[in-house]
């Protein structure tokens, strides 16, 4: 199994409606992309100076499944939305 973890720091002044749109868009992906085995995301609760604003943790059977997810057109639409409002995006992929 493979975990894909993403951390997002939004640009200053990002509107609440934009973040809600990201949440709704991400929430639809598990129904649209069969390679997704697990999918959790949410906003940071602590808001420390080290914190990112948002995180996504997804699970896949293997690297091929994750790559298929990343190339899926519905995923690409969400990634474009995220990039437009993000100051920084980090990701880590690991087997477990």
Q: Is residue 32 helix, strand or coil?
A: helix
Place of tokens 């639409």: 77
Give the per-residue pLDDT at 83: 98
Q: Please write the tens of the pLDDT for every residue from 35-94.
A: 999 999 999 999 998 999 999 999 999 999 999 999 999 999 999 999 999 999 999 999
Query: What is the extent of the structural domain holding 70?
Result: 2-95
Q: What is the pLDDT of residue 44?
A: 98
**Per-residue pLDDT, 15:** 98
pLDDT band at 26 (very low <50, low <70, confident <90, very high): very high
Contact 68, 20 (CB under 8 A): no
Q: Residue 76 belongs to a domain with what CATH number?
A: 3.30.70.100
Number of structural domains found in the chain: 1
Distance CA 49, CA 52 (A): 8
Residue pair 14/63 in contact by the 8 Å Cβ criterion: no
């Amino acid at each position: 199994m493979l975990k894909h973890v993403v951390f997002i720091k939004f640009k200053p002044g990002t509107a609440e409606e934009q973040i809600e749109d990201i949440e709704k868009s991400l929430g639809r992906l598990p129904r649209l992309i069969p390679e997704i085995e697990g999918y959790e995301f949410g906003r940071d609760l602590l808001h420390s100076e080290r914190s990112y604003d948002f995180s996504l943790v997804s699970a896949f059977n293997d690297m091929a499944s994750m790559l298929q997810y990343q190339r899926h057109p519905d995923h690409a639409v969400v990634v474009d939305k995220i990039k437009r409002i993000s100051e920084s995006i980090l990701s880590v992929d690991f087997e477990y």
